[in-house]
Structure 1
Amino acid sequence: MNVRVPTGIKGLDEILNGGFVPASSYLIVGAPGTGKTVLALQFLTESAKKGASCLYITLAEPEESLRRNASVFDFDLKDIVMVDLSEAFEEDLPEGEYSVFSPAEVEGEPIWKQINDAIETHSPQRLVIDSATFLRYLSTDEYQFRKHIQGMVNRLSAKKCLTLLLFEPLELEKDVSLAMAVDGILTLRNETSENRLTEIRTIEVNKMRSFSFMTGRHPLRITNRGIVVWPHRIEKLKEYTYERKMVQSGIEGLDELLMGGLSSGTCTLISGPAGAGKSTLALQFLTTAAKEGQKGVYYSFEEGLASMLERCNAIGIPFQKHIEDGLITFREINPLEQYPDEFLEMLRHDMEINGVNMFVLDSLRGYNMAMETFGSVIANMQNIINYTRRNMASLFIVNEQEMITGNLQITDMGVSYVADNVLLIRYAEVEGRVIKVISCLKKRIGNFQPDLRELIITSQGLKVGKKLHQLHGLLTGVPTTDTIHLPKNPDREDGHEG
C-alpha cells in the first residue's frame, strides 16, 4: 500500500499522487521569493494539525523575522518547534582563504553538530532545514558536503522523519551531490511573461524516487492562506454511455434550421463580426435551458455584468431573472489574471459542485489573451472541450471575426475544427440596407438545414426568418441575384442595432 503524507497544499497532493512519501527527504528548489519558505511552513502547519511533531531549523533568517513574515498567512505555528541557528551560522563562516588550514578544520563542524543535536533533542516526524544552501557554503569541496548531507539524510530516514531541505537553484547546478542524496526534488519558479507584465508562478516535480507523479509545470498562486496549485491535467475523452438530449434556442426559426436543436454534451462555436448578435444568441441558449430548470454559467472575458444586464433587458432576454433565481451564474474573468488550469478548475467546480451543465465562454479572443502565454490556445481549449464532452455538458464559445464582409474565415486561431457545431452570423447588404444572416456550417450529431436565414434582433428578443431565396454570395456580404428580393418580415425593426 502506497501511504502518503498530505502536503497541506491544494493541488500539490494531486500532482504527487497523494502527497510526500513517509520517511523520505525532499529538496525544495527555488530562487528567493518563489515561495519555498511558505511551502515549508504550510506543510508543517498541516502536519502539526494532525498531531505530527514538527521542527523548523532556520539558518538563513532569524526566528523573529520568520514568524513576523509568516503572520501574513493564516498559519498557526504554535505547535512547530523553531531552532534558530542563523547567528551561529554567521559565526562559523570562515574568513579569508583556506591556504593555512585544512578543509576539515574550517568547514563548520559546530553547525552540523547543532543540527544533529536539535534533531536528537526534539525527535521530529517532520523537519525543515532553511536553507540547506548555507550548509553547502560551509563545505570546501563536494566530497565533504556529500558526506555530511548523505549521513544526515540516512539518519533522518532511519528515524522515520520526513524532511524538506530548501535550496537555491544556482548552487544545485554547481553541485549535484544533494540532488543524488534526496528522494525527491520540487522546483518553484517565478517568471515574468514575455508578452505581459505579470508574474507566472509554477511548481514542477523533477524527481520522485520509485513513485509516479504528474509531470510538467503546474501554475500556482500565493494567497493569504498560503500556496494554491492548479495541476495541469490532460483531460481525456471517453466514450459516452449517456442518452443525449436536445438543446434548443427557443427561437422557432433557428430550431427549425437546426432540425430540433443541438445535441447536449457538444461544443458549439458561434462566430461573427462585432455587433452581429453572437453573445445575444449564446444567452438565448442559456436562458432557454434555465427555463427548463438547468443551471448555466456565463464566463465573460470582455463585458461586465451591468452592461450585459442592460443589453438583455432592452431585448427581452430574462437574463437578470435567472441570475436572481440562481439558475445562471455570471463570472467576469480578467484575462490578465488567469491561468488556463485555474480557469479549468473553476469550470470543474461549477460542474461538479454547483451542478452546472451548460457553459458560455465569451469570447475566444479574450480567452486567447489570457492563455497564449501558457502554450497553444488550441491545446488548452481542447482540454476544456474534452472535459465538458466527457461529462455531457454543453459548451458555447463566442468568437469575433475581424472581417465584417468578404472572404469567409470562421476563426483566425484555427480552432473551429475542435468544435462539434458551428453557427455563423454575417452582415450582408441587400436592397440598400445591412442585414444579419445566420447559418449552420457544421453539426456533428444529427442533420440540419443548409439554409441562409435573416437574423433580427428586436425588443422582444431574437427572431430568425425564412430561407433567403434568389440570393447568391450572401456569405461574402455582397449578394447578387437577377431579382433582388428580401422576404417580408414583420419582426424587422428598422434601425435596431443588435
Structure 2
Amino acid sequence: MTTPTEPSKKARFGIAGLDSILGGGLTRDRLYLLEGEPGTGKTTIALQFLLEGAKAGEVGLYITLSETKQELSDNAASHGWSLDEHISVFELVPPESLFEESQQQSLLYSSDLELGESTRAILQAVEARKPSRIVLDSLSEIRLLAGGSLRYRRQILALKHYFAGQGATVLMLDDLTADIMDKTVHSVAQGVVRLDEMAPEYGAERRRLRVAKYRGQRFRGGYHDFTIATGGVEVFPRLVALEGKTAFARTRLASGISELDALLGGGIEQGSSTLILGPAGTGKSLLTVQYVRAAIARGEKAAMFVFDEELGILFDRTRQMGIDLEASCDQGLLFIEQVDAAELSPGEFAHRVRTCVDSHGVKLVVIDSLNGYQTAMPQENALILHIHELLQYLTRQGAATFMTVAQHGLVGDMATPVDLTYLADTVVLLRYFEALGRVRRAISVVKKRTGTHEDTIREYGIGSSGLTIGAPLVAFQGVLRGVPDYVGQEEDLGLLPSGGAL
C-alpha cells in the first residue's frame, strides 16, 4: 500500500466517517463500484457524493437507468436537498415508440439495439455536460441489456476508458438484483464499497459497510456501522484503539467516601477501567454516580450512558440523596444519555462515547450496564471485542471508565451473562447477605491491577445521604456466599445500625 495522498487531491463524499475510512476520499479520474441490495443507501450516498462536488464548484451528472428523475428529486427533497440547483440528472428511458406494435421485430435481439442506444445516449450526456463527477445507476440494467458476461465486461471496460479520457471520477451503483455472483466490475474498478443491511429479530434494521478493495490506497478495513437519517448517511468508522494516545498523569481519583477509598487502596487511577459486579438492587448505579459526583466537584467533566434505567427515575432518586445530576447536565459538566439498545448499533454507540471524550474533554465515562449493551450485539464474542477496543481507547485518552454488570441471582452462586473481569483493571464485587434477621449488602475488591487494595469485606448501606461504608466484617465468614457464619464475639459484629440503610 502506498502512503495516502493529500485530502485536497481526493474526491470526497462529504460523509466524514466514510472519507476517513477511505483515507480522505476517492482518487480522482478513476472508476469505483458501490454495491448493495435495494434499500441499503446507495442512492443517498451517491447524491451526497455529487453534492459535495458541487460545493467545490465541480459539475456533477447523475445517469439513471432505473429510477425516474422525479423519484430522485423526491428522495433528495426528503433530506432537504435540491438537485436542480446543484447537479444534472440524465434519465435514460426507452422511447415510447418501443411500445408500438410496428416497432416490434424478431430478426435481432432487442438487447443488441437497446444496449447500443443506451451507451450512445450516455456518451452524449457526458459530452454535453463535461462533468467532473458521474454516478451511473444502475449496473443491473446494463448487465441485463448485455445478455452475457463477455459482452458485459467489454462494455464496462469501454465505459471505463472513455470516462478516464474525460477526466471524470465515476461511481457505479449495483443493486445486485441481476447476478449476485458476477464480479466483473470488481476486477475493473479502482475501488469497491459494499453495503449490507441486517434485520434483527427485534429492533430497527442495522446497516454496515466494508471497503472490499481500493488499489494503491490505505483504508480502514473491516465492517463499519452506518445509519440513514434526515440529512443523509452518517458512517461510524470501526474504533481502532492504538491509533492515538494522550499523555496524562495517572493520579488517583477519590470517591468522596474515605472508607471506599481505603478499600480501593486510595482510589481509582486515572485512565483505568473499573467493573462493578452484583445482583439487581445492590447499588451498582449509585456507586458510579458517587464517582461522577466527585469528578464534577473537582471541576472535571463526566459522561453517563444509561441502558436500563429511565433518566427521570435516575434524576429523582439521586436528587433525594442530595445529588442533582440534572443541574450538572445544565451546567455542561455532565453528559448523560438514555441508550436504546434496540435502535442503536454498537458502532454508533462507540462513536458517541468517543465524541464525548474527544470533543467535550470528558475524563470519566460510565456505561450502565453492559447487560443492555450486550443486547445490541449479535454475539457475545463480538461484544468482548467491542468493549476491548473501547476500553483500550478510553485508557489511552486518560479517561476513567466505570462499567456495571447485573448478575443473575440474589444470593449464593451468581451467574454473569458476560465475563469481562479479565479486561477491567479493577473489579468491585457487591453482594447481599443475611445477618440478624436483615438483608444486608457487602462490598469487596477482588482485583486491582494498578496498585494494592484491601482484601477485606465491608458492609455498606444506601440511605437518604447516599452510600455509607462500614468497617471490615471481621466477625463473619461466608459473607459472599450469602448466609455467613458468625465466628467472633458480640462486640465484634461491626454491622451498620438498622436505621442507617434503606
Same fold, judged at TM 0.5 (above): yes
Aligned to 2:170: 163
Q: 1 CA distance for matches of 2:96 and 2:198?
A: 31
Aligned to 2:153: 146
Residues 283-432 of structure 1 correspond to what in structure 2 (within 5 A)? 283-372=289-378, 376-407=382-413, 411-432=416-437
Work out whether residues 452 and 467 of structure 1, in 8 Å CA contact, stay in contact via their aligned partners in 2: yes
Q: Quick one: structure 1 residues 157 and 227, their matched pair in 2 at CA, closer, same or farther if it must change by over 3 Å?
A: same
Q: Quick one: structure 1 residues 175 and 441, their matched pair in 2 at CA, closer, same or farther if it must change by over 3 Å?
A: closer
State the shift of 1:102 in Å. Answer: 6.2
The yes-or-no answer on 1:127 pairing with 2:127 is no
1:41 to 42, 47, 52: 47
Q: 1 CA distance for matches of 2:323 and 2:169?
A: 58
Q: Which moved more, 1:90-99 or 1:141-150?
A: 90-99
State the shift of 1:422 in Å. Answer: 0.7
* Letter of the 2:255 counterpart: S
Work out whether residues 473 and 479 of structure 1, in 8 Å CA contact, stay in contact via their aligned partners in 2: yes
Q: 1 CA distance for matches of 2:379 and 2:297?
A: 38
What does the per-residue CA deviation read over 1:32-57, in whole Å, with 9 as the maximum and x for residues that have no partner? 21111111111101110111111111
State the shift of 1:270 in Å. Answer: 1.0
Aligned to 1:179: 186
Please give the secondary structure, in 2, of the residue aligned with 1:173: coil
Q: 2 CA distance for matches of 1:89 and 1:245?
A: 77
1:243 to 240, 249, 259: 249
Q: 2 CA distance for matches of 1:58 and 1:474?
A: 71
Work out whether residues 140 and 177 of structure 2, in 8 Å CA contact, stay in contact via their aligned partners in 1: no
Work out whether residues 277 and 405 of structure 2, in 8 Å CA contact, stay in contact via their aligned partners in 1: yes
* Letter of the 1:455 counterpart: Y
State the shift of 1:99 in Å. Answer: 7.5
Q: 2 CA distance for matches of 1:245 and 1:174?
A: 57
Aligned to 2:117: 110
Q: 2 CA distance for matches of 1:494 and 1:95?
A: 97
Q: 1 CA distance for matches of 2:24 and 2:340?
A: 32
Length-normalised TM-score, structure 1:
0.93
State the shift of 1:148 in Å. Answer: 2.1
State the shift of 1:18 in Å. Answer: 0.8
Q: 2 CA distance for matches of 1:214 and 1:93?
A: 52
Work out whether residues 276 and 425 of structure 1, in 8 Å CA contact, stay in contact via their aligned partners in 2: yes
Work out whether residues 92 and 111 of structure 1, in 8 Å CA contact, stay in contact via their aligned partners in 2: no
State the shift of 1:374 in Å. Answer: 8.6
Work out whether residues 315 and 459 of structure 1, in 8 Å CA contact, stay in contact via their aligned partners in 2: yes
Structure 2 unaligned spans of 5+: none
The yes-or-no answer on 1:16 pairing with 2:22 is yes
Q: 2 CA distance for matches of 1:392 and 1:15?
A: 25
Length-normalised TM-score, structure 2:
0.92
The yes-or-no answer on 1:463 pairing with 2:468 is yes
State the shift of 1:176 in Å. Answer: 3.1
What does the per-residue CA deviation read over 1:140-195, in whole Å, with 9 as the maximum and x for residues that have no partner? 322222222211111111221000111122435353333222212112222212x4
Aligned to 2:453: 448
Please give the secondary structure, in 2, of the residue aligned with 1:144: helix
What does the per-residue CA deviation read over 1:71-122, in whole Å, with 9 as the maximum and x for residues that have no partner? 1012232121111112449949999999742688435311111111111111
Please give the secondary structure, in 2, of the residue aligned with 1:419: coil
State the shift of 1:373 in Å. Answer: 5.3
Q: 1 CA distance for matches of 2:113 and 2:181?
A: 21
Aligned to 1:279: 285
Q: 2 CA distance for matches of 1:388 and 1:99?
A: 69
Work out whether residues 55 and 81 of structure 1, in 8 Å CA contact, stay in contact via their aligned partners in 2: yes
Q: 1 CA distance for matches of 2:28 and 2:217?
A: 12
Q: Which moved more, 1:3-12 or 1:174-183?
A: 174-183
What does the per-residue CA deviation read over 1:338-393, in whole Å, with 9 as the maximum and x for residues that have no partner? 11111111111111111110011101101111224595211111111001100110
State the shift of 1:415 in Å. Answer: 0.9
Q: 2 CA distance for matches of 1:175 and 1:237?
A: 36
Please give the secondary structure, in 1, of the residue aligned with 2:16: coil
Q: Quick one: structure 1 residues 96 and 286, their matched pair in 2 at CA, closer, same or farther if it must change by over 3 Å?
A: farther
* Letter of the 1:433 counterpart: R
Q: 2 CA distance for matches of 1:20 and 1:341?
A: 23
What does the per-residue CA deviation read over 1:242-268, in whole Å, with 9 as the maximum and x for residues that have no partner? 321111111121112122111111000
Work out whether residues 18 and 235 of structure 2, in 8 Å CA contact, stay in contact via their aligned partners in 1: yes
Q: 2 CA distance for matches of 1:318 and 1:205?
A: 46
Please give the secondary structure, in 2, of the residue aligned with 1:265: coil
Q: Which moved more, 1:29-38 or 1:287-296?
A: 29-38
Structure 1 unaligned spans of 5+: none
Work out whether residues 54 and 80 of structure 1, in 8 Å CA contact, stay in contact via their aligned partners in 2: yes
Q: 1 CA distance for matches of 2:147 and 2:407?
A: 64
Q: 1 CA distance for matches of 2:357 and 2:111?
A: 62
Q: 2 CA distance for matches of 1:423 and 1:89?
A: 75
RMSD: 2.6
Q: Quick one: structure 1 residues 486 and 143, their matched pair in 2 at CA, closer, same or farther if it must change by over 3 Å?
A: farther
Q: Quick one: structure 1 residues 173 and 370, their matched pair in 2 at CA, closer, same or farther if it must change by over 3 Å?
A: closer
Aligned to 1:59: 65
